Amino acid sequence: MDEIRLLLVDDEEDFIRALSERLHMRDLAGQTAFSGEQALEFVSEEEPDVMVLDILMPGMDGMEVLRRVRSMYPQIQVIIHTGHGNDLDEVEAWNLGVFDYLKKPVDIDLLVERIKAAYLNKSE
Amino acid sequence: MISGDAAALPGHVLRASLMKMYTATIKKEALETGSRVSYYTRQKLLFILLMTLVSVIPLAGISYFSFSYYKNSWIDKTSAELASLADSRTEIIEQFLASQNNQLQTLVDLNSPEYLGQQANLEKIFNSINRSGVITDLGLIDQSGVHRAYVGPFAQQLADKNYAQADWFLEVIRNGDFTSDIFTGYRGIPHFVIAIADPARDSVLRATVNSDMFNSLLAEAEVGPGGDAYILNRAGELQTPSRLGSPEMPGGDLAAGSPALYHTDDFIYAATSLRNGEWNLVLKEDINSSLAEFYSARNKAIVLIGLAVVLIITVATLLSSSLIDRIKEADQQRRQLNNRMQDVEKMALIGRLASSVSHEINNPLQIIESQAGWIGELLEDEKEGRVGDIGEYQDAVTKIRAHVRRARDITHRLLGFSKTGAEAPTEARINNLVRETVSFLKDDAEDNRIAIVSDLQKDMPLLVTYPSQLQQVFLNIMKNAIDAIGQDGTINIRTRTTSDDGANIEFADTGPGLGEGVQDRIFDSFFTTKQGRNTGLGLSISYNIIQRLGGDIEAKNREQGGSVFTITLPSGIGKNYLE
């Protein structure tokens, strides 16, 4: 499998660091961003294959990031990973064309599996 | 729905507070119901009383006035009749008296006492004037009070009688003539005496006149049953028989020729004076026995009125019962609607609370999970024996992860609970949602004299959406409109299909419209123009809901005043979600 370019976006730094380490152990090298703004900045520099995105963040929230990414970089596969279970968010996210919508807390193996699937989806 | 999900929640706090909310509601309801029952009973009684009074008072009033009017007019009429009757009788009697008097006066004027003193002459005169039989006897008495001649049935008894000292004799010598009161003679026939002296006052012509015709004259007076007609002298003694035997003289001055009218509660009197006040003719009518027919008619009418009153009370009772029952039913429906509306709002609020609480918990849970996983993975990499009791550590990590999963199940279930109504988007009829929302607020609007006018396009397409969320939006906007209008106004609701099979819903109100700066901020959280009455969240929540449903909402001022909220919805949402 080619190297998957992965971007993890979440405002919980502790969590994102631990997640990043663990993914690394599973041969998934991920970049990290701690806010919506940071994520967009990152994307504009280097377009990732897969993006794992939290919704509720201070500043620009995940839904706004999603809207922009979907309109500007439709190739990026986005997996929503959120603690917020709002139906309407989910509906809108699906409407915007996310690859998956996962609710925290998610088992690491499931996350890895979905990231890989997303990558395969993009390659097709 | 609540109890099922709430029971599955170990969140004691949430459950307890839910319970508290419901118990509080029940207690209040129960209390209100108690006072309402007596309220309806009171209203019913008041209604019956009012209806009865309103119909019975005029009925009784009309009856009373018509009865008393009839009675008074009868008394007036009868008095007039009695007066004219008294007049005519008085005239006849006076004429009779005058003619008798004149006849004797003529005899005295034309014949000398000597001529009249001859028995044969007197007999001749008696026979010629007594063809009618009115005069019983005729006698000439000389100065000494002794009969000089006598024609009549009592010749024997009167032969030696001397009238010299009799009152009537003295009076006739003094005044020239005399008329006596009426007395009953030997044969039980009423008589009176007329005596005329000759111009020289040395002899008196005396005639006994049968006054039987007075009696028949009075008996002919058509006084009703219980009425009476009689003649009294100055001393109040009867000159004619009285039918009732209780003759009395009515009070008041009695002028000759103009009958004096007088009435008590029971009788009407008409009285005239005869013989310059020597006698009085009294006609008497009994009010009660004359009005007997009227009274019996009146009694029948009273019975009929009584029946009518009973009927009125019955109808009033039935009518007000059904009316109050209908009001009660309407109140009940209104309360049910109100409760349902409150439930919708309450559930929406609880949903939002639950959703934000689970979100706040899910984030730390995710960190705990991933940190524990991280520890587990590190432990796996440790060389055998470098960490003492490694099994214990691994066991602890497994337990931590297991309990994180347990906590996750709870928060996910809580999130499921927050989805009010439909779990998934369903097909919804916009017009039905609008109608139902209008029914929630109809009473509130009516109380403030606000008309809700709906113009709903008939063939609106089915929309795939979240009906309860959408309804929440309609509710918020309409409540906002009612608050904006305050009192007296109109809310116009209009639904139309858009070009791409979506829906366009307009809520226009006749309120004051959006002030400067309001239009830009109206959908901001906590923005409110209704300080202290409102959280300022309603429209912001509505905005979010519509955005998420893939639609659009905007607020503008109308040219003719007031504001208009326009919602545009796509034909379907969450197509991926549904697949």
In order, the DSSP letters of A7-73 are EEE-S-HHHHHHHHHHHHHTT--EEEESSHHHHHHHHHHS--SEEEE-S--SSS-HHHHHHHHHHH-
Residues of B in contact with A84 (CB under 8 A): 355, 359, 362
Secondary structure class of B221 (helix, strand, coil)? coil
Secondary structure class of B571 (helix, strand, coil)? coil
Better-predicted residue by pLDDT, A49 or A1: A49
Contact A25 B377 (CB under 8 A): yes
Secondary structure class of B271 (helix, strand, coil)? strand
pTM value is 0.45
Interface of A with B in 55-114 (CB under 8 A): 56, 82-92, 94-95, 97, 103-108
> Residue B219 has what pLDDT?
77
Give, for all 579 residues of chain B, the pLDDT tens digit.
333 343 344 444 554 555 555 444 444 444 455 556 678 888 888 888 988 888 889 888 998 998 889 888 888 888 888 888 888 888 888 898 898 899 889 988 888 888 988 889 989 988 888 877 788 889 999 888 888 888 888 887 777 788 888 888 888 888 888 888 888 766 677 888 899 998 888 889 999 888 887 887 787 776 777 788 888 888 778 888 877 777 777 655 554 456 788 888 888 888 888 888 888 888 888 888 777 888 888 889 889 988 988 998 899 899 988 988 898 888 888 888 777 777 777 777 777 787 778 878 888 888 898 888 888 888 888 877 777 788 888 899 999 988 998 888 888 777 665 554 334 667 788 898 898 888 878 878 888 899 999 999 888 888 888 777 788 889 889 988 888 888 899 999 999 998 888 899 999 999 888 877 777 777 765 566 655 445 556 777 788 778 777 788 888 888 888 899 999 988 876 443 333
Cα torsion B432, B434, B437, B442: sign = negative
> Residue B160 has what pLDDT?
76
Interface of B with A in 404-433 (CB under 8 A): 404-405, 408, 411-412, 415-416, 418-419, 425
Whether B355 and chain A come into contact, CB under 8 Å, resolves to: yes
> Residue B31 has what pLDDT?
47
> Residue B362 has what pLDDT?
84
DSSP single-letter state for residue B277: G
Q: How far is B395 from chain A (nearest CA, A)?
A: 18
ipTM of this model? 0.71
Interface of B with A in 379-408 (CB under 8 A): 404-405, 408
Per CATH, which fold does B426-578 belong to?
A: Heat Shock Protein 90 (3.30.565)
Q: How far is B38 from chain A (nearest CA, A)?
A: 48
Q: What CATH code is assigned to A6-123?
A: 3.40.50.2300
Closest C-alpha to B342, from B480, B157, B500, B472: B472
Structure tokens at B355: 């959703």
Contact B544 A25 (CB under 8 A): no
Distance CA(B152)–CA(B185), nearest Å, equals 13
Better-predicted residue by pLDDT, B503 or A105: B503
Whether B574 and chain A come into contact, CB under 8 Å, resolves to: yes
Secondary structure class of B568 (helix, strand, coil)? strand
Q: Which among B358, B365, B371 is the nearest to A85, CB-wise?
A: B358
> Residue A115 has what pLDDT?
92
Distance CA(B413)–CA(B543), nearest Å, equals 26
Could you report the per-residue pLDDT of A31-78, keeping only the tens digit for each? 999 999 999 999 999 999 999 999 888 888 888 999 999 999 999 999
Structure tokens at B271: 């009285």
Per CATH, which fold does B223-290 belong to?
A: Profilin-like (3.40.1840)
Structure tokens at B273: 């004076």
Residues of A in contact with B378 (CB under 8 A): none
CATH fit for domain B111-215, picks 3.40.50.1360, 3.30.1050.10, 3.30.390.10, 3.30.450.20: 3.30.450.20
Residues of A in contact with B425 (CB under 8 A): 91
Distance CA(B472)–CA(B433), nearest Å, equals 10
Residues of A in contact with B402 (CB under 8 A): none
Q: Nearest residue of B to residue A98 by CA position?
A: B576
> Residue B455 has what pLDDT?
92
Which residues touch B488 (CB under 8 Å, ≥6 apart)? B448, B449, B450
- Where along chain B do its domains lie? 2-11+294-418, 111-215, 223-290, 426-578
pLDDT band for A88, please (50, 70, 90 cuts): low
